[in-house]
Amino acid sequence: MATDSTREPLLTVSHVSIGFDGTPVTHDVHFSLFPGTITALVGESGSGKSVSAMALAHLDPSQAEVSGQAFLDSNTTLNILDNTLDQASLQKLRGGQIGVVFQEPMTAFNPLMTLGKQVEESLIYHQPKLSKQERKEAVLHAFEAVRLPQPERIFTAHPHELSGGQLQRVMIAMAIINNPSIIIADEPTTALDVTTQKAILQLLESLARERHLAILIITHDMGVVWEAAQYVYVMQKGEIVEEGSTRQIFTAPTHPYTRMLLDAVPKLTVDSESEASPTADSQAPALVQLEHVSLSYSHRAHAKLALHDISLHIGAGETLALVGESGAGKTTIGKVISGQLTPQQGTVLIGGDNLAGLKGKKLRQARSSIGFVFQNSSSALVPTKTIGWSIAEPLLVEESLGGTKLSSQQRRERVEELMKHVGLDPALASRFPYQLSGGQRQRVGIARAIALRPKLLIADEPTSSLDVTVQKRVLDLLRTLQQEYGYACLFITHDLGIVQEVAHNLAVIKSGEIVEQGSVSEVLVHPRHAYTRTLLDASPRIDISAR
């Protein structure tokens, strides 16, 4: 790293190769981490990012075969990758010298223990001489360091009582509490809204600067790289294919893979001369109409207002993007439109039919005109059933509701047709979900969603867990299918960059209320509401002139 030639690295990794059962997954990986600096290791899923980084803390699966060298603080006498390290050395390494922040904070914590106790465990492990009071004070101090409000309340709270962003801050507090010199952050913002993501990245930047930490961010998101990192290593198929300063990588990439990653990043442009989003037909009839819809949830003796006075229209062949933070009510609106939830006030019309007035078989038939694409493609598919079965299931359900009966051969042919339509090889029909990549599983979900030629498609964060290159292909597919099938689409997302790629109109929701709506270009270029401007300000935007 040329800019750090006057400083000694905190960590030097060289010639690292990792394999499983004799099959190599990484080859000759190298990188260096410097104090006060955030370094990004970027690449698609399966490129070897996480397995390379986790090997440093010996957190790879036990069957991993690791070779190579990694030295801390220029200490070339102790290779921390050595698989013969004794337990005391490993204990000092994990948490003491290297802290780790994982991707999914909700699954990283014990749901039955208070957060204070869970963070305290790290102190008991690394600093056993501390008294109970000293441990509590250290935890509260760490909570303050990561900008958590009301540290005393957080100390006694359970994981389910905190938001995703707050849990991620608790995990960062756990990572820094023993004053390590290095932090590994594995996709630390993937599951977060843009405003929360920005706050977490700013927190990591300040911790690196104030504590002179070397932070390694593992990510597939080039927007995160641009926002947070000073230096970048690009990884493809287990090898480092390019490295350089962030500005160098973004302005003058030399490797085709790096250029492909950059080309796939959704571009959020908010000036009047920016490339237009898809143009809607202003004369298109309203297929979906919500008029003054309100919905409350009863919780014990209290009622919580989930939606307030919602009015939305979606025309045939149009896509309405619904944007807001977690808990704003986006998914709730989708459930209201599909008839899964019945509002206390207002009307919901699909093709002129009021779902609230339908029951039994008629309601099931009306719902069959609505297709769903879910966020988590893994949990949306039955793990013990083949891909072919999953795609055929809507056809079988339709038959049970009095639809056209298909022979087994006709059903197989329809499944093959759908698979080809979404860009899947029909030979994959006999595979199981775990045998497919995330992008392939999402295509299966789309094939299921369009199997009955729906009038409406509800896509709930369909690309948030996908790499940018896979994300781009899925968005292109959704646009192409809409042109062919002519369905209306409700596209639920927190990513304004995607909105510009796929939607005609945009509605912004905050705390159960629509605060702004209009054409995509109108809302992005001339936002009227302060919350819309906050979302725009928080969205990663690659601005070369800013560096």
- Is the pTM of the predicted complex or chain greater than 0.85? no
Work out the number of other CB atoms within 10 angstroms of the CB of residue 406: 16
- Rounded Cα distance between 482 and 316, Å, is 10
Helices (H), 375-432: 387-400, 408-421
pLDDT for 317 beyond 50:
yes
Q: What is the pLDDT of residue 203?
A: 96
Q: pLDDT per residue over 475-528, tens digit each?
A: 999 999 999 999 999 999 988 888 988 999 999 999 999 999 999 999 999 999
Q: Encode 357-372 in three state secondary structure.
A: HCCHHHHHHHHCCEEE
pLDDT for 444 beyond 90:
yes
Cα 130 off chain centre by: 38
Residue 513 β-bridge partners: 510
415's CB contacts (< 8 A; 6+ apart) are 388, 391, 392, 426, 429
Phi/psi-derived region of residue 312, left when phi > 0, alpha when psi is between -120 and 50, beta in every other case: beta
Question: Mean of the pLDDT values across residues 178-186?
Answer: 94
pLDDT for 14 beyond 60:
yes
Question: Is residue 120 within a helix (H) or strand (E), and if so which, with residue range?
Answer: helix 115-126
Question: Mean of the pLDDT values across residues 73-87?
Answer: 81
Helices (H), 451-541: 468-485, 496-502, 520-525, 530-538
pLDDT for 20 beyond 90:
no
Complete DSSP assignment for 429-471: GGS-GGGS-HHHHHHHHHHHHHTT--SEEEEESTTTTS-HHHH
Q: pLDDT per residue over 209-259, tens digit each?
A: 999 999 999 998 888 999 999 999 999 999 999 999 999 999 999 999 999
Q: What is the pLDDT of residue 544?
A: 62
What average pLDDT is seen over the chain?
88
Q: pLDDT per residue over 328-352, tens digit each?
A: 899 999 999 988 888 999 999 998 8
Domains of the chain and CATH, by start = 1-97+181-263 (3.40.50.300), 104-179 (no CATH), 286-546 (3.40.50.300)
Q: What is the pLDDT of residue 368?
A: 83
- Rounded Cα distance between 372 and 456, Å, is 9
Q: Are 346 and 306 in contact (CB under 8 A)?
A: no
